[in-house]
Structure 1
Amino acid sequence: MDIKVGISSCVNGESVRFDGGHKSNKFASKVLAPYFTYVPICPEVGSGMSVPRPTIRLITNEERIALVDSKDASLDYTDSMVEFSQKTVDRLKETEMCGYIVCANSPSCGMERVKVYSKNSATKNGVGLYTQILMKEMPWLPVEEDGRLSDPVLKENFITRVFCLNDLYKSMDGEPTAGKIIAFHSRYKYTLMSHSTVGYKNLGKLVAKVAEYDINEFFAIYRTQLMQTMTIRASRKNNTNVLMHLQGYFKKELESPQKVELAQIIQDYNQGLLPLLSPITLIKHHLGIHSNEYLAKQSFLNPYPQELRLRYGL
């Protein structure tokens, strides 16, 4: 699969860290690599720093946050980092990049809770300078830290967003049209509902007005709102609501015992007794016998390759 995903070079296994080492992530390198085409970037090396190099950190004087040498704050790397970051992100914006995995806690790449030092203390409330510009300039892009990929919920959410954005790009095939966007949105009805009922309704209202926009302007607006809605993690309550909607498609096809079985499995999932995979597997089984073209196209049933095994613990 040609799914372009940015990644911090050290997380990709390249020896570019301050000590000449790397921070290879097993899930990214072993599990995801067959599906993604990685675009490795090290902002520190890219902005002119050497390997190895002195450590750097973020500092603040309440007026600005700067990137400086950890032992000598007069060695300021802020301007060179910002310049490199802006040029790199401007280039990435012209590509169909579908996600980004950044290095946690890094003063250049960290996504959240990066240490920021002041005169008398340090707080974990910063964002790496490069990633800050990346997220500001590309608000639709799924971004996740390497360490958070060990959390099954965060991991599933990130992968779902990456495949969703890739599906959007492939569906447009380089030329957005109202028809293509409507068809895509129709396939993501239940996926969006599982993430946010409010977001689902707002996107529905937006799509209903597609004819009022320049199509390229509309695509940009839709892409951002779509991906921001997908950032909201799907809840058990919302998933159960979606499963009950899907159950309704079989009310005329299933015999009474089959209806009872499906309802019970959905209820067991709702109570946390079964993973999401269980009711979805049964629904897909019934769908294989009682075909329904609209339901078969719903991304909720197949958001990513099942070989990734992401719904086993949800």
Structure 2
Amino acid sequence: MSQAQSSLPQDSLIPVGVSSCLLGEEVRYDGSHKRDRFITDKLSSYLEFVPICPEVAIGMSIPRPPIRLELVEGEVRLRGVRDSCVDVTEPIGEYSSAISSAIDNLSGYILKSKSPSCGMERVKVYKPDGNLAGFSSPGMYARRLLERYPLLPVEEDGRLNDPALRDSFICRVFAYHRWRQLCAAGLKRDDIVQFHAEHKLLIMAHDEQRMRRLGKLVGSLGKEDLDAAAQEYIKEFMAALAQPATRKRHVNVLQHLLGYLKRDLAPDDKREVLNVIDQYRLGMIPLIVPITLLRHHFRRIRVPYVERQLYLYWSPPELALQNEL
């Protein structure tokens, strides 16, 4: 097993917050749930879910009158649809602060889309008369979560149906968890250097410009305060992985990897790899095909640099993420 493969989470699950209704809990305003089988049946093998429903947590009943985002004197508030005297803006804000110690321990968060409290984006905002205000917003709880934890990988259930967004989110969760483990153990300069080396090709697949900036930052680690450098590094790193990897950038990484085999690979094998990469470039086959072929050759031809890379090995096969890219 390569060093990169051994970096996959194995012994413990990764703690991730999730809107309770997505796990099948009947906590919605009408007493229903929105169970998401990809979350409960697939991701649960790797993630330890921390269910949170802010509306129930602040004492709202099940079922309960519906609430919505409402523009009141230039301020977006969380109020009752039928009774504007119901205003839970402050209670939701207070709960967001009260739960911060629990959120500090998370490596990701999955929110319920379109929810006036938990929607990550594009939640409708209304005027007091019931007409749309003409713009959208994150839900009230989600907005505070995003503002307070800008590094935390956050996604909502609807967007997880997009293969590229799903891949980006899960990749960020795994990577952020690794970073948090390093920090918990006492982050050292060599830890950042090794972390960057292991993730370099993953970063290249998502954001090549940031990969270069991160490389320069790592190269100057001894010249500035380590804590400040670490904060700058992880901020840029998470921003890079938040950019969904594209087919073009994957092709670039695949060709880069092939370059490490060119001296040892037989001509027929090299032509086969080039052909498979080109088929992927043209959209004829999914990413898992060239990935699997390159894994095969790197098992025969040992390249220490490649063995340190998570690009070929980070994605759990059971999730089949690369089968749809």
TM-score of Structure 1 vs Structure 2, range by shorter chain:
over 0.9
Task: Report the counterpart of residue 256 of structure 2 in structure 1.
Answer: 245
Q: Alignment partner of 2:298: what SS? A: helix
Q: Alignment partner of 1:254: what SS? A: coil
Task: Report the counterpart of residue 118 of structure 2 in structure 1.
Answer: 109
Matches within 5 A, 1:1-314: 1-61=12-72, 63-88=74-99, 90-95=100-105, 97-118=106-127, 119=129, 120-123=131-134, 125-314=136-325
TM superposition shift of 1:62: 5.5
- Superimposed CA distance per residue, residues 9-32 of structure 1 (whole angstroms, 9 cap, x where no aligned partner): 111211111112211111110001
% identity of equivalent residues: 40
TM-score (normalised: structure 1): 0.95
Whether the 8 Å contact between 2:17 and 2:103 is mirrored in structure 1 is no
TM superposition shift of 1:124: 5.5
Partners in 2 of 1:250 and 1:208 — Cα distance? 27
Partners in 2 of 1:112 and 1:134 — Cα distance? 12
Partners in 2 of 1:109 and 1:190 — Cα distance? 34
Aligned AA for 2:110?
I
Partners in 1 of 2:76 and 2:146 — Cα distance? 17
Partners in 2 of 1:44 and 1:94 — Cα distance? 20
- Superimposed CA distance per residue, residues 254-282 of structure 1 (whole angstroms, 9 cap, x where no aligned partner): 11111111111111111111111111111
Aligned AA for 1:161?
R
Partners in 2 of 1:213 and 1:122 — Cα distance? 48
Whether the 8 Å contact between 1:164 and 1:303 is mirrored in structure 2 is no
Whether the 8 Å contact between 1:171 and 1:184 is mirrored in structure 2 is no
Partners in 1 of 2:96 and 2:226 — Cα distance? 29
Q: Please give the root-mean-square deviation of Cα atoms over the aligned residues, in Å.
A: 1.5
Cα 1:266–1:92 shift into 2, 3 Å: same
Q: Which runs of 4+ in 1 moved over 6 A?
A: none
Partners in 2 of 1:209 and 1:65 — Cα distance? 44
Partners in 1 of 2:21 and 2:135 — Cα distance? 22
> Which runs of 5 or more residues in structure 2 are unaligned?
1-11
User: Between Structure 1 and Structure 2, how many residues are aligned?
Assistant: 312
TM superposition shift of 1:174: 2.3
Partners in 2 of 1:173 and 1:79 — Cα distance? 33
Whether the 8 Å contact between 2:13 and 2:45 is mirrored in structure 1 is no
Q: Tell me: higher relative CO, structure 1 or 2? Use CA pairs within 8 A at least 6 residues apart.
A: 2
> Which runs of 5 or more residues in structure 1 are unaligned?
none
TM superposition shift of 1:143: 0.8
Q: Alignment partner of 1:300: what SS? A: coil
Q: Alignment partner of 1:299: what SS? A: coil
Aligned AA for 1:91?
S
Partners in 1 of 2:305 and 2:317 — Cα distance? 20
Partners in 2 of 1:10 and 1:212 — Cα distance? 48
Aligned AA for 1:286?
H
Partners in 1 of 2:13 and 2:96 — Cα distance? 24
TM superposition shift of 1:130: 0.8
TM superposition shift of 1:122: 4.4
- Superimposed CA distance per residue, residues 20-48 of structure 1 (whole angstroms, 9 cap, x where no aligned partner): 22111111100011111111111111122
Partners in 2 of 1:165 and 1:199 — Cα distance? 17
Partners in 1 of 2:183 and 2:212 — Cα distance? 22
Partners in 1 of 2:184 and 2:313 — Cα distance? 21
Whether the 8 Å contact between 2:117 and 2:139 is mirrored in structure 1 is yes
